[in-house]
Structure 1
């Protein structure tokens, strides 16, 4: 059993002082306030529930900073995607694992305890299968084991190259599966995960988007759900909305809510371009909005409709998506700032009055846990010990108490205030550094150099 002594801890009941949190078999076994630390205790200052990073494409971390050159004409998500396809055509399984391990390590050091890996690179360049169908999923599993992050693996069904069942082309051939081959992949991935990953790992499913599937294929793929999370890209770009409306006769979120059994096990990634009715209906469905503010800003997607969604009690979490920058505090503040810039107001992402930092942080913790199928998101007995500790002596935090600590964390601090992170009790970050940092960085450096040489 581990014992964590925290000077301050944020629980659903509020802030507790001099708290001992006991962890057994990866879960929180007891929470006791007003205690005295013992020599065997891990002593920390501020203890919070850790967030889950609900949306990641780990391989895209390797191209961070390489697409910030304006192309001829109007640059957009679609020109970025062309460059991404060209880049990923050269990634080998060994490089994939090294990149994923760096990404997962950086997430843990930023304060995330878990990740939803939206995994759509399945095959060799040109679409030829690997000898082992789950070769690249297995590489993600190896990276999760090496780093200790809590993994919700989300194999992606990507059957078509665009709305209206267009054929796959170019780099998309590494993604492609029929529903039958996708079922085989998911079955194998679940068998491998159950054999080698910790018990908190999950393998869900991810129909990539309405444009990359079809109504028939989506319905068949959902038969593989098996009480696991379902994630899908939706309404990220105006062109996507227009294409789906032309093809299916309804806007993407409208069509999905009317034709699929969307509920609390679903996560709708981005959902950026929605009408007010779609926003309200999505909130009422119980699905989590998977918001990726840094990537959405980087790609020029546009801001989410936060106030309308919150007014209906909608759940949301955050993810680092393209991993152009992995920064938990920046992700949260970018979410709020996007709302302020659009509405010309301050303190938007809260349905009522109170601490905006606390609302955003705690809402994202709960929503992320829901989207990843993890019993986590708050410090409670029986939950997974997904925990993060902060240095309250840091200049960004030293002058505040109570929920103002969360305001300062979200709006003034950097991720370097993180001292410790536990994922299902695995204590992988200590004194701000991952236990395997040197080896992981070394492997990544070799991988990225060989990848760039190939390109």
Structure 2
């Protein structure tokens, strides 16, 4: 049993001083406040949230798509074509190295675990590997290297649109019919057994556009265990296509036909009406927000104020991984509300500051979306923990909610000093314990892909 001591910690019932946390077999075995100092002072101890949405392989193309394309109205859809060209070059070795690097960066940013929304299944050209779950196995191998908690979510992706057109050249590596996806999902579950006990298997239909209507309606019953994820209402052309083909906007169609409940994490939700926002929040589903990527791709602004007021659950993810920063995701979420509405501290309440309210929500929503016993420094939870450097000038004289606000709005991820994932002390003094080897492998991949774009 390992014992950790912090001069201040955020517990389920609020802030506490001089806290000892006992960790046994990766879980929190005891939490005691007002205890004598024992060992090093961790400073400000927080639960570490889950990153609920990642396409790890896209990290390797970050920064390479900021030039204007041939269409003067460059958008998500032109970016998407560049992404398809890029991924046709990726080998299983490449994906493993990129994913380990991404998970390392997530841990150094303060996340304790991640959800990999995994749809890069097959060889270039769409032919399956001899092992149908080869690429899933590489995500698992990356987690073994990084020590990150993993919720692997294999993605069913069959069609190029609501009209059930064939997948295009860049998409064929994603494609499966319902029967083959079921086989792939089972094989991915077997691959996960190589990881420690805190791993989780989920399942996802990619989006309304990519799966048969009949399969969407039956998806939850076909995969009755683990979390369910799906992109929903990200882009205006997506909304228009679903409405034209199926006679309803995406959120309304999903509410009417998919039995949405608290197993679901719905990604983006940036194109919703007020009524859709309130109705979707009432289902208990998590809104998986990716504010940095949504800003990068021009997706739109999630109606966070209305969603929070309706009691909706939220979590954050790094999605395209153009930048991996927990503090910036939270800050961008709040700033988007301020910019849209011309207000300040849009998500704060009389009881909780802005950063505190968002962090509390993201901790709970992330644990729910990953099916993970985490999100709180409490007995029985996985020891997903994050220690901020209380000696930083940005936290000088600050404690409690003020310290959180100073981290999110005046500091950045450089304040993250130590991180544990299910008790694995993977970030120490601001750096991942296997940073050198992981970076070396990633550097090799980047050099080999230099001309891909």
TM-score category, normalised to shorter length? over 0.9
The secondary structure found in structure 1 opposite 2:450 is helix
The secondary structure found in structure 2 opposite 1:396 is helix
In the TM superposition, what whole-angstrom CA distance separates every residue of 1:90-120 from its partner, at most 9, and x where no partner exists? 0010011000000000000000000010000
Aligned length: 452
Give the structure 1 partner of residue 253 of structure 2. Answer: 255
In the alignment, the residues of structure 2 paired with residue 250 and residue 257 of structure 1 have an alpha-carbon distance, to the nearest angstrom, of 10
Structure 1 residue 392, shift from structure 2 partner: 1.0
Give the structure 2 partner of residue 391 of structure 1. Answer: 389
Structure 1 residue 221, shift from structure 2 partner: 3.6
Give the alignment of 1:18-417 within 5 angstroms: 18-38=18-38, 41-72=39-70, 73-194=72-193, 196-350=194-348, 354-417=352-415
In the alignment, the residues of structure 2 paired with residue 223 and residue 16 of structure 1 have an alpha-carbon distance, to the nearest angstrom, of 43
TM-score, L = length of structure 2: 0.98
In the alignment, the residues of structure 1 paired with residue 350 and residue 238 of structure 2 have an alpha-carbon distance, to the nearest angstrom, of 33
Structure 1 residue 33, shift from structure 2 partner: 1.1
In the TM superposition, what whole-angstrom CA distance separates every residue of 1:266-324 from its partner, at most 9, and x where no partner exists? 00000110111110011100000000000000000111001111111000010000000
Structure 1 residue 453, shift from structure 2 partner: 4.7
Structure 1 residue 131, shift from structure 2 partner: 0.8
In the alignment, the residues of structure 1 paired with residue 241 and residue 260 of structure 2 have an alpha-carbon distance, to the nearest angstrom, of 22
Change (3 A) 1:421 1:348: same
Structure 1 residue 348, shift from structure 2 partner: 1.1
Change (3 A) 1:275 1:141: same
Contact 1:311 1:351 in 2 (8 A): no
Structure 1 residue 354, shift from structure 2 partner: 3.3
In the TM superposition, what whole-angstrom CA distance separates every residue of 1:191-237 from its partner, at most 9, and x where no partner exists? 2212x011111111010000011211223443332320000000000
Structure 1 residue 399, shift from structure 2 partner: 2.8
In the alignment, the residues of structure 1 paired with residue 400 and residue 436 of structure 2 have an alpha-carbon distance, to the nearest angstrom, of 36
Structure 1 residue 351, shift from structure 2 partner: 5.4
Contact 1:291 1:318 in 2 (8 A): yes
Structure 1 residue 43, shift from structure 2 partner: 3.2
In the alignment, the residues of structure 2 paired with residue 57 and residue 42 of structure 1 have an alpha-carbon distance, to the nearest angstrom, of 37
TM-score, L = length of structure 1: 0.97
In the alignment, the residues of structure 1 paired with residue 221 and residue 170 of structure 2 have an alpha-carbon distance, to the nearest angstrom, of 28
Larger displacement relative to structure 2 (29-38 or 363-372):
29-38
The secondary structure found in structure 2 opposite 1:171 is coil
Give the structure 2 partner of residue 17 of structure 1. Answer: 17
The secondary structure found in structure 1 opposite 2:352 is coil
The secondary structure found in structure 2 opposite 1:43 is coil
Contact 1:271 1:304 in 2 (8 A): yes
Contact 1:56 1:116 in 2 (8 A): yes
In the alignment, the residues of structure 2 paired with residue 290 and residue 165 of structure 1 have an alpha-carbon distance, to the nearest angstrom, of 26
In the alignment, the residues of structure 1 paired with residue 411 and residue 405 of structure 2 have an alpha-carbon distance, to the nearest angstrom, of 9
Contact 1:183 1:221 in 2 (8 A): no
Which of 426, 432, 435 is the aligned partner of 2:433? 435
In the alignment, the residues of structure 1 paired with residue 183 and residue 40 of structure 2 have an alpha-carbon distance, to the nearest angstrom, of 44
How large is the RMSD of aligned CA atoms in angstroms?
1.1
In the alignment, the residues of structure 2 paired with residue 97 and residue 128 of structure 1 have an alpha-carbon distance, to the nearest angstrom, of 19
Structure 1 residue 378, shift from structure 2 partner: 1.3
Give the structure 2 partner of residue 2 of structure 1. Answer: 2
Contact 2:352 2:401 in 1 (8 A): no
Change (3 A) 1:358 1:418: same
The secondary structure found in structure 1 opposite 2:266 is strand
Structure 1 residue 452, shift from structure 2 partner: 2.1
In the alignment, the residues of structure 2 paired with residue 186 and residue 407 of structure 1 have an alpha-carbon distance, to the nearest angstrom, of 41
- Return 5+ residue gaps in structure 2 as ranges: none
